[in-house]
């Protein structure tokens, strides 16, 4: 089914890659419920959301595997879940059930654009240099996320970012993990990333993360359950949010036009986050053809469109392709068997949630940094001597991590590419679809809507 020989891989390598992807993205089982359950946001049921997150991720990932045979994993998107909770539900005061309805409509529009080939044309409209830049930008993005999660870098009001506190244990272990994995990769040790994650997790159980203060005892970097029974738990029921979406914003004309900009914003973010991840991960896997296009891109886009609809039915914000899939690709994953392995582990995690959540950021962050380095290697393919090509590419690379948004990074890069092409006599190098996308991003950035 997965054509392992044709893709020059083995069952053991695919299983190992699936485990690597799962280890890199397991944090979503804790983070997504926390964001959507926040009392200042959507205020949803946190226990139910743990189950919903795992079910939606596993279902969407298996769907992608069966439709494309690509090693892509999907789960509720970070950033989109924050927008869903804190902006749509919190700031705009939209009930979470109506917000799920917006996600459903967003997914239906996605599916329509995918079935008609519009999304495929959008992917092909992105210049080859920007596709390379997107890959590099995502590499910087996930490396930045890893360093931030482990406390190696922290926010600073004067300098924006600064070095973290290395006496706390987590940051120091992260750096040790980066060096360990880098050594293993350089020596071509199979499973280097998984070995690094496991090693730092084990060492973290003996390293102080938070020192004792008053009555509070010291906390280790890896905090294991107090007893053997504490490693296991039964899944909570998804009933509080399963099939609970509503469409109250369609009841009046005023409500519809108020909701339309929100739906369009969701559409833009989802579309270009997905396209960016799809290009970045599959390029690293060597799936792009000589023209920089992805075979079976239509199937991949239909799969994530259906996943977006399913996420609203399960009761969570939009499910998207995950950049952490790149970690599985670097571990050797080349087929849908990698994805199926990740999906099965997501379901098993429902019974081992305390153990999965014990893997600290200090252990997963090095994996993200190393994968980021791998993805940034393609920067040498950008023609730096051609400023009309180099400037948009470099802007894209920097904008993705610095705006903390793949979609906005692509938008900045594409707008600059169009402007440079027009004013350097290369207007025909950009397709009509490319111009249209740039205009849409321009309208989005400057909040110009026709309503």
What pLDDT, in 10s, does the model give residues 205-214?
888 876 655 6
Distances (CA, A) of 76 to 49, 56, 197, 315, 396: 11, 8, 23, 10, 24
pLDDT exceeds cutoff 90 at 259:
no
Query: Within its chain, how far is the Cα of 176 from the centroid?
Result: 25
Pairing of strands 208-210, 219-220: antiparallel
Phi, psi of 47 (to 5 degrees): -65, -45
Q: Is residue 177 part of a domain?
A: yes
Q: What letter would DSSP give residue 216? A: B
451, pLDDT greater than 50: no
- How far, CA to CA in Å, does 84 sit from each of 77, 97, 139, 268, 449? 10, 11, 25, 14, 20
Predicted confidence band of residue 42 (pLDDT cuts 50, 70, 90):
confident
Residue 320 lies in a domain: yes
Residue 382, classed as helix, strand or coil, is: coil
Q: Taking residues 215-231, report their average pLDDT.
A: 74
Domain membership flag for residue 336: yes
Q: In degrees rounded to 5, what are phi and psi of residue 206?
A: -115, 5
Task: Report yes or no on 173 lying in a domain.
Answer: yes
More confident residue, 138 or 317: 317
pLDDT, tens only, 91-119: 788 899 999 999 999 899 889 988 887 77
Count the domains in the chain: 1
Q: What SS3 state is found at 75?
A: strand
pLDDT of residue 283: 81
8, burial (CB in 10 Å: exposed 0-12, middle 13-18, buried 19+):
exposed
User: What share of the chain has pLDDT > 70, as a percent?
Assistant: 94
- pLDDT tens-digit series, residues 312-329: 999 999 898 887 888 888
- pTM for this predicted structure: 0.70
Structure token digits, residue 422: 């027009």
DSSP state of 213: B
Query: DSSP of 109-177, one letter per residue?
Result: HHHHHHHTTHHHHHHHHS-HHHHHHHHHHHHHHHHHHHHHHTTSEEEETTTEEEE--GGGSHHHHHHHH
Structural domain range at position 112: 11-127+162-364
pLDDT band at 434 (very low <50, low <70, confident <90, very high): confident
Rounded to whole angstroms, the Cα distance separating 144 from 381 reads 22
Q: What is the mean pLDDT of residues 131-143?
A: 83
For the segment 350-354, the average pLDDT, to the nearest whole number, is: 80
76: in domain: yes
Q: Is 358 helix (H, G, I), strand (E, B) or coil?
A: coil
pLDDT above 90 for 150:
no
Mean pLDDT to the nearest integer, 70-99 = 84
State the pLDDT at residue 449.
Answer: 59
Task: Let me know if residue 62 belongs to a domain.
Answer: yes
Asked if residue 427 belongs to a domain, the reply is no
How far is CA 396 from its chain centroid?
17
* Nearest one of 348, 373, 376 to 22, comparing CA atoms: 348
Confidence of residue 143 (pLDDT cuts 50, 70, 90): confident
In a domain, 6, yes or no: no
Residue 415: band (very low, low, confident or very high) from pLDDT cuts 50, 70, 90: very high
**Residues counted in the chain:** 451
| β 153-156/74-76 pair status | unpaired
The least confident of 85-94, 107-116, 194-203 is 85-94
pLDDT digits (tens, 9 = 90+) for 274-312: 777 787 788 877 887 777 777 787 788 888 889 999 999
52: confidence class by pLDDT, cuts 50, 70, 90: very high
As a whole number of angstroms, the distance between CA 147 and CA 163 comes to 10
With 80 as the cut, is the pLDDT of residue 227 above it?
Answer: no
Per-residue pLDDT, 129: 86
Mean pLDDT of the chain: 84
Q: Which residues of 220-230 are buried (b: 16+ CB within 10 A; e: fewer)?
A: bbbeeeeeeee
What Rg, from alpha-carbon coordinates, does the chain have?
22
């Amino acid at each position: 089914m997965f054509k392992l020989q044709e893709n020059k891989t083995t069952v053991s390598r695919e299983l190992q890659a699936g485990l690597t992807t799962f280890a890199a993205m397991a944090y979503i089982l804790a983070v997504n419920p926390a964001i959507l359950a926040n009392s200042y946001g959507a205020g949803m049921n946190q226990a139910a959301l743990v189950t919903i997150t795992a079910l939606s991720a596993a279902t969407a990932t298996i769907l992608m595997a069966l439709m494309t045979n690509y090693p892509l994993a999907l789960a509720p998107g970070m950033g989109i879940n924050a927008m869903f909770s804190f902006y749509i539900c919190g700031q705009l005061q939209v009930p979470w059930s109506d917000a799920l309805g917006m996600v459903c409509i967003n997914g239906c529009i996605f599916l329509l654009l995918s079935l008609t080939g519009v999304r495929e044309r959008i992917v092909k409209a992105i210049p080859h240099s920007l596709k390379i830049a997107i890959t590099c930008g995502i590499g910087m993005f996930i490396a930045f996320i890893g360093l931030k999660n482990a406390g190696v870098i922290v926010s600073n009001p004067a300098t924006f970012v600064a070095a973290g506190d290395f006496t706390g244990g987590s940051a120091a272990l992260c750096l040790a993990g980066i060096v360990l994995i880098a050594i293993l990769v350089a020596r071509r040790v199979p499973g280097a990333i998984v070995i690094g994650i496991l090693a730092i997790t084990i060492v973290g159980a003996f390293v102080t993360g938070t020192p004792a203060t008053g009555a509070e005892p010291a906390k280790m970097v890896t905090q294991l359950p107090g007893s053997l029974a504490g490693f296991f738990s039964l899944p909570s029921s998804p009933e509080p949010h399963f099939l609970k979406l509503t469409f109250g914003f369609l009841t009046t004309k005023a409500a519809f036009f108020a909701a339309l900009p929100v739906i369009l914003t969701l559409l833009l973010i989802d579309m270009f986050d997905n396209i960016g991840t799809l290009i970045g991960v599959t390029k690293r896997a060597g799936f792009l053809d000589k023209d920089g296009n992805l075979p079976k891109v239509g199937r991949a886009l239909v799969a994530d469109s259906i996943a977006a609809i399913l996420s609203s039915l399960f009761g969570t914000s939009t499910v998207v392709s995950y950049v952490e899939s790149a970690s599985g690709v670097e571990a050797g994953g080349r087929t849908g068997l990698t994805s199926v392995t990740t999906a099965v582990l997501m379901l098993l995690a429902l019974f081992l949630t305390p153990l999965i959540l014990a893997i600290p950021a200090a252990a997963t962050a090095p994996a993200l940094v190393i994968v980021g380095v791998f993805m940034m290697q393609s920067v040498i393919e950008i023609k730096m001597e051609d400023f009309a090509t180099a400037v948009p590419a470099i802007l894209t690379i920097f904008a993705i991590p610095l705006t903390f948004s793949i979609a906005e990074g692509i938008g900045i890069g594409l707008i600059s590419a169009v402007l440079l092409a027009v004013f350097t006599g290369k207007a025909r190098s950009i397709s009509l679809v490319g111009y249209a996308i740039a205009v849409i991003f321009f309208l989005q950035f400057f909040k110009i809507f026709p309503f």
